[in-house]
Each structure stands twice: as structure tokens, then as C-alpha cells.
Amino acid sequence: MDSIMYLLNGLGAVLTPFNLFIVVVGSFPCTFVGVLPGLGPTSAIAILLPMTTILEPVQGIMMMAGIYYGAMYGGSTTAILMNIPGESSSVPATLDGYPLAKQGRGGAALGIAAIGSFFAGILGLVGLVLFAPILADQALKFGPPEYFVLMLMALFILFNISGYSFIKSLIMGACGFLVSFVGIGLSSGVARFDFGLPVLVGGFEMISIIIGLFAITEVLKGIEESRIKIKQQKIKKVFPTKEDLKNSKMPILRGSLLGFFLGILPGFSATITSFLSYDIEKKVSKHPEKFGHGAIEGVAGPESANNATSSGGFIPLLSLGIPSSPPLAVLLAAFMIYGLTPGPILFEQNSEFVWTVIASMFIGNVILLILNLPLVGVWAKLTDVPFGILAPIILMISLLGAFSVRNSLFDCFVAIVFGVLGYLFHKFNWPIIPFILCLVLGPKMEISFIQSLEISSGNLLIFVERPISLGLLLSSIIILMISILFTKRTKRRMIQETGESQDMS
């Protein structure tokens, strides 16, 4: 009951003219970013992050959240109309969405995708309202050892779903830790790894690194790939028929429930849940032979699972400070840039902030449904924008954003350097997400580890002697093993359907 009251107060805060404008700006236009092939939600958040730094924290995070689910909505458009998934989680939508588009029913497929995404998003947010406060309340019992083990669990599981070898992920994670250590030591107060350079005493600005690794890297990738216009299928009727809605009802429900409950757990990315949903719908269907040839259920289930996983991921992020997917890892960095630390303390000390953000996500999902259905054709036309026009705009926003944080040209230089590094990482198949995650969580893990050793007088067994810490450690091992199995299964499905292995983010 308290959660409902807090949510209603949050809705009241969101429904002010400026805050409502922020939600619209965050969610609606960012569907366009999701529509563009290659620009998924992770890159979208990184590219547009500088634009939010001039806002108040609550408004900035509302816009960031809107960018996230707005980009997730848009990812299905090119998957269905052009057989080009905006991100790997949209691959299942191509299997039946594109055949439907070739039959002249692309509009109906996009309509079902939007409806399923809306239902799944709302279901995930209801779960967020019900479960996140309970989880945050229980997490108040955690001490430094429990937090250290919890963050360690998130690291290893997300390393596994990054789509690359575990060894490469470990190496990149170690590099992220090293970069996070540059500057004034959290425990000693002494500068370290500054090499005698005054500009390094303050450490690297996180936003500059994120801009470089995602936004500038995306520009370099686009230039290399020489992205050109690809012929897409024409849209006839946008709204699905009654028969489509009837056939999609149960797939949407099953996909939403599956995506939400697996999305709560670190290690189950939207790619995994969307493929699982597709395979489940094919098995329970009375006409499995239709799948791959234009079955509307093959679009409804995976797209619902996709968005439910995204919403479910906010539960561990807000209540424990643990990101369960790559986009949420970047969103965690955005929280920290604003001086906020997601976790139980956030619910306790900034409850008005948390519930305003959650309420904004309800409003944002409604806005997306109302505007996306009639404007499906507009989004499809926007894919005609040449990358040669987008690239300089992205580059300008990125460098301005890097400069504006500390008014330092050094931060622009850092963004460019990490942009080149990000391009090389992509070129030679080295994962970026483990680097970012360790960069973000490094300081928090360092503090928790040092505090744990102080409590135990240097005894490392403290991590297995405390019941909660031991339970988390065992749970992480179990979840990791299950995650490895599902990740391998999903990689096989990706290769089977697309002929190549893709990033599992």
C-alpha cells in the first residue's frame, strides 16, 4: 500500500509541464535512435548522455530511462521491415516479422510489436513497484562483505553474456579496474597512477570514457561500414486485425512473464529471453510449420519478452545497484555521474526521486504506445537518413558533452582516445561492457573490500563465514552455470538463424 501511495505522489511530480516534456523528449524521439541499424539502447544512452547533464538529477535520469525503453521500442522496426535487427535481441523479430512484411503485413507486425512491448513494459513496472522496495528493504541488512560478493556476482555473470570469450572479458575488466584507480585513492587520499601529470590527479571523467567507447566508436564503425540505404518493405495497414490480436494474446502474456522473471536475474539478457520466448511459442503452437513464414505469434512473444526483460532489469539496478544488462551498466554510470548511488540507501534517502523516476516510466510507455502506432510509417522513413549526415551530429554532441562536464579540453582528448580504442576493440572482438562495468563498480568494490578486511582484521574468510554472503556466493555460482548454458544455447540459435555470432548484449 505504501508503494502505491509513493507511486501516486511520483505521478503527481511527473505530471508537471516541464517534467512531462522531459519524459516525451526522452522516450519518443529516442525511438528513432533504436530504429537506426547498429545504434541500440546502449549506444543511444551513451550518445545522448551529455545532453542530460544540464538537467536536475531526477529529470536527467527520467530522460535516460526514456532513452532506454524508447530505443528498445524502435529496435523492432528495421528488424521487421528491412530484416536488419537494431540489436541482437531483435533477431527473433526478423524470423517472422520480415516474412510478414513481404506479405504486405509489416504494419500489423509492427503494431503487435508495439502492443506487446507496451503490455510487457507495464507488467515489468508493476513488478518493479511491488518487488523493488521489498528487495531494497532486505538489502539494508547487507554489510560490506555482502555488497562485495553481490557486485562480484554481477561482474562474472555479465562477463559471460557479453558475447565474447571469458578470458577476454576478464582482461578487459581488469583494465577497467586499473582506469578506475587513477586519481586520488578512496581509502588513502593519495594520488595514484597519475605519472606526475596534474590532469590525472582528479582521475578520468567517466562520461568522457563512455562517450568515447560508444558514441565516437559508433561514428568510426559507421564510416568504415559505409552505411547505405537498404530497400525496405512497404507498410500498408498499421493496426493489427482482430484475428492478429486473438492469436497474439497468449504469446504476449507468456513472453511478458518469461522476460520479467528472467530479467530480474543478472545473466539473462533480452537476447536470451527473446529467443527462449520464440522457441516456446513454436513448441506450444498448433501450427508450428507457420513459424519462419509469417506467424504473428513469432513477433508477439519475443518482442514482449524483450521489453519485459528491460523493465525487470530495473529491479536489481534500483534496489541493489546491480545492472543486469549492458544498457543498464551504462545507466548505472549515469546515476553515478549525477552523484547518486542506486541501492537500498537510494530508496531510504531519496524515495521521492526513485518513485518519480518509476512513475515517469509508466507515463513514457503510454506515450510510446499512443504515438508509435500511428507513426510507424514515419519511423520507417527516417531510416533513409544517410549516416554521412548523422555522423557529424553525433560527433559534435559527443565532444560538446565531454567538454561541458569539467570545461576541459583534456576530457575531449580522453573521449577521442577511448573512441579510437573502442573502434579497435570492436575491430578485434574485445568486449567493451566488462571494461565499463568494472570502471563503474571498481570504486564501490574497492571500498567494500577494504571495509570487509577492516571488519575481519584481514581475514579473507569473512566472505564465506557470514550466512548472507555465503548464500549470495552460492547463488551466484548457480546462476552463472545456468547463464552459461542459456548463453551457449542462444549463441547456437543466433548462428542458426543469422549465420554469424553476434554480441549478446
Per-residue pLDDT of 41-54, as tens digits, reads 777 777 777 777 77
Q: What is the pLDDT of residues 22-35, one digit of tens each?
A: 888 777 666 666 66
347 phi/psi in degrees, rounded to 5: -65, -35
pLDDT averaged over the chain? Answer: 78
Please report, as a single letter, which amino acid is at residue 6.
Answer: Y
At residue 420, the pLDDT reads 92
Q: Which is more confident, 113 or 29?
A: 113
pLDDT confidence of residue 500: 54
pLDDT class of 252 with cuts at 50, 70, 90:
very high
| pLDDT score at 355 | 87
Percent of the chain whose pLDDT exceeds 90: 2
Q: For 441-454, what is the mean pLDDT?
A: 83
pLDDT given for residue 275 in this prediction: 82
Most confident of 6-20, 71-85, 191-205: 6-20
Is residue 268 over pLDDT 70? no
Between CA 321 and CA 46 the distance in angstroms is 19
Torsion angle of the four alpha carbons 473, 474, 476, 480, in this order, in degrees rounded to the nearest 10: 140
pLDDT of residue 142: 77
Percentage, residues of the chain above pLDDT 70: 82
Contact 176, 329 (CB under 8 A): no
More confident residue, 485 or 248: 248
- How do residues 328-368 score in pLDDT, each as one tens digit? 878 888 888 787 878 777 877 788 888 888 888 888 888 87
Segment 397-432, tens digit of pLDDT:
778 777 876 778 888 888 899 989 989 988 888 888
Mean per-residue pLDDT, 235-242: 70
The runs of H, that is alpha helices, within 338-375 are 344-349, 351-372
- Residue-level pLDDT at 373: 67
Phi/psi of residue 160, nearest 5 degrees? -65, -40
Residue 231 has pLDDT above 60, yes or no: no
Burial of 246 (0-12, 13-18, 19+ CB in 10 A): exposed
Contact status, residue 78 vs residue 376, Cβ threshold 8 Å: no
Span 289-329, pLDDT tens digits:
788 888 888 888 888 988 888 888 888 888 877 777 777 87
User: pLDDT tens across 154-209, in order?
Assistant: 777 666 655 556 788 888 888 988 888 887 766 666 777 777 777 777 778 777 88
For residue 233, pLDDT beyond 60:
no
Query: According to the model, what pLDDT value does residue 424 have?
Result: 92
- Give the CA-trace dihedral at 90, 152, 205, 185, to 10 degrees: 180
Q: Which range scores top for mean pLDDT: 130-144, 228-242, 246-260, 485-499? A: 246-260
Least trusted range by pLDDT, from 7-11, 111-115, 223-227, 352-356: 223-227
pLDDT of 502: 53
**DSSP per position, 14-33:** HTSHHHHHHHHHHHSTHHHH
Q: What is the pLDDT of residue 131?
A: 83
Higher pLDDT, 158 or 109: 109
Helices (H), 88-184: 91-102, 106-139, 144-160, 166-180
Nearest to 47 by CA among 207, 227, 271: 207
Checking if the pLDDT of 505 tops 60, the result is: no
pLDDT at 35 (0 to 100): 63
Compare 378 and 342 and report the one with higher pLDDT. 342
The answer to which of 122-126, 238-242, 264-268, 497-501 has the lowest mean pLDDT is 497-501
